[in-house]
Structure 1
């Protein structure tokens, strides 16, 4: 039996559990909390923060390969562990250009992959000739305009660490509080898209269908699979995924979030080097889920068939809307009665606004977008009712 160490014990690791059982894979997680979602499905747990290198050494002694549920890790420490022969998939060198959003932008730009124009905000206030050189090298032919988007370079997720900036005064106030930020142009998109793709140890690449993601307050509210886009746009996105995966020699699953502009231009927003919320539809709507595909890749097993098993699916995140200790059993029971629905509950002990507590996927027998949105609104009316 292959033993896979997972750094992180949240819901993404939890959802690897069913796939691991199917494949005969044993999961061992490194996570700080005894009530974290994946603790219950793991065969063993190292209770420690995900950036605790000593704990990762302990994890390595228990497993054959180590992978990641999140990217809040200490790359320098992991590089030292890897140099001792520990197998990480994806490899540490593949993560290195992705975890800092500024470095990720530079990496994509150097591959001629289109991204929003961006800048290090401190270079806007350059006074010395050295700083002016930094500004010249990083401005990407972009003159500052508002609104703009300010992002934390590390550890931002679910809208945290992302700010819409409407004036120079707003910008200066934010920079006084935190200097480790990336500033980029605001994109007036017509759709937000995402693609999940896997790469095997042999270099085989397997992309899932491109999906549309819909955000509320910068947190993903719902996902429609497949996205209503033309074949040319789909090919462009899958080619981008292939270029990034091959350049990094990445092994495992990763996600690319993208903007489709009003002029039908595709721009990469962010890359997540792991399984991703926009791929949860695959658990029920595809022959192989993103979690199974990830384990197949990191365990050097043949990749599975990622085709959809239905014409269309809509996934709705069940987000916290109050600070409360509750399992919401009545609402979950009501939602589970929706025809074609599959409800996934993460077992978190506390709800708070914006926290992902679970998700529900509904499989449809046609591609009627209006019907899909009606179902989503029905789910949300049940879930958010007081």
Structure 2
């Protein structure tokens, strides 16, 4: 039996359970709370923060290979374990240029991949000229630990920028600061693609999807996205360039902008399974979670094609502070034909928290129909 350690015990680890059972894989999870979703499916648990490298050493003693459910780890500390022979997939060198968003931007730019214009914020005196170059609005991003819209701010004027930065506390005396600035992209749509790379270097990409955000949190995913063949080829080429350059083993999520004139830009990279690929659990022969386990266990990659004409995925987000399991809403949503609900078993709801998702399989590819169906689900889920 292959023993796979997973750093992180949220829903992304929890959704590996079916594939682990299919392949006879033992999942050992490092996570801080007994209430985390993956606790219910793991064969063993190491209760510790995901950036606790001493706990990861304990995890390594129980596993053949270690992978990541999230990227909030201490690479410097983990590198000592890698030098001792611990196998990480993806390798730590693949994560290194991605965890800091400024370094990620630089890496993508240096690969020749299309990205928005960006600057690091280093000194107060340099900011004004950079903002004048970009023009308002600008996007201010935390360089580390931002996700689900956290740490990303759209700034309309210089006074708001000064207020948000709170220069006294965020402009450091070191050579690096906590934030980067980048140009605001008035995109037509946001897109994403999940790509996997095997131990042998084979790459498989999933259908490119359209993602729809509200308050910078993903609300809906439509698969496949309505894009041109040239745009599809460009996105697939971006995925191949990135994964081969990093020599990745495992799944990556790549978020993109599509501008009004049809230009594709890379937004952010997630070095793990990703919310934009959840539709694959029900709509594809090989889900992103099975594909990730296939890759990290050295198995051949599976077929990533859609097994239906199209699909729409809707995130079920918390909208209140509660301990409800929302059975009534879930039962109503379950009555929708070809609807598949995945409930993460979290014991606490709070605004914006991902509690579950629902994927509906569609008999034809119709963006308007998919959006209407998503809105119907949301009308059941969210209070009027």
Helix, strand or coil: the match of 1:126? helix
Alignment of 1:245-256 (within 5 A): 245-256=243-254
Q: TM-score, normalised by structure 2?
A: 0.96
| 1:290 matched residue in structure 2 | 288
Q: Deviations over 1:324-358 (max 9, x none)?
A: 11100111111111100000000011111100000
In structure 2, the residue matched to 1:235 is: 233
Task: Provide the C-alpha distance between the structure 2 equivalents of 1:178 and 1:375, rounded to a whole number of angstroms.
Answer: 43
Deviation by residue 1:287-337 (Cα, 9 ceiling, x = unmatched): 000000000000000000000000100000000001111100111111111
Contact in 2 for aligned 1:118/1:142 (Cα 8 Å): no
1:150 partnered with 2:148: no
Secondary structure, aligned partner of 1:307: coil
Looking at structure 2, the residues matched to 183 and 119 of structure 1 have their Cα atoms a distance apart, in angstroms, of 5
RMSD over equivalenced CA pairs, Å = 1.5
Q: 1:13 is matched with which residue?
A: 13
Matching of residue 178 in structure 1 with residue 170 in structure 2: yes
Q: Does 1:45 align with 2:35?
A: no
Deviation (angstroms), 1:126: 3.4
SS at match of 1:62: coil
Whole-Å separation in 1 of the counterparts to 2:197 and 2:126: 42
Partner of 1:304: 302
Aligned residue number for residue 99 of structure 1: 99
Deviation at 1:154, TM superposition (A): 0.4
Superposition pairs for residues 270-281 of structure 1, below 5 Å?
270-281=268-279
Partners of 2:312 and 2:67 lie apart in 1 by 28
Choose the corresponding residue for 1:261, options 253, 259, 262.
259
What's the secondary structure of 2:273's corresponding residue?
Answer: coil
Residue 336 of structure 1 is matched in structure 2 by 334
Deviations 1:57-103 (A, max 9, x none): 00000000000000000000011110000000000000000000000
**Secondary structure of residue in 1 paired with 2:308:** coil
> Which whole-Å CA distance do the structure 1 matches of 2:132 and 2:4 have between them?
45
Determine the structure 2 residue equivalent to 1:64: 64
Corresponding residue for residue 321 of structure 1: 319
Quote the Cα distance in structure 2 between the aligned partners of 1:272 and 1:290: 13
Q: What's the CA shift for 1:170? A: 1.1
Q: What are the residue-to-residue correspondences of 1:159-198 with 2, within 5 Å? A: 159-176=149-166, 177-179=169-171, 180-198=178-196
Among 362, 365, 368, which residue is 2:363 paired with? 365
Check whether the contact 1:117–1:142 (CA below 8 A) recurs between aligned residues.
no
How many pairs were matched up? 376
> 2:208 matched to which residue of 1?
210
User: Which segments of 5 or more consecutive residues in structure 1 lack a partner in the other structure?
Assistant: none
Q: Deviations over 1:185-235 (max 9, x none)?
A: 000000100000000000000000100000001000000000000111011
Q: Residues of 2 paired with 1:373 and 1:266: CA distance?
A: 22
Distance in 1 separating the partners of 2:303 and 2:374:
27
CA contact (8 A) 1:317 1:356 kept: yes
Match of 1:23? 23
State the alpha-carbon separation in 2 of the partners of residues 190 and 124 from structure 1.
33
After the TM superposition, which parts of structure 1 deviate over 4 Å for at least 4 consecutive aligned residues?
A: none
Could you state the TM-score of these two structures normalised by the residue count of structure 1? 0.95
- CA distance in 2 between counterparts of 1:211 and 1:58 reads 38
Structure 2: any 5+ residue segments left out of the alignment?
172-177
Write the distance in 2 (CA, Å) between the matches of 1:30 and 1:8.
6
Partner of residue 3, structure 1: 3
Residue 123 of structure 1 and its aligned partner are, at CA, apart by 4.5
1:122 deviates by 3.1
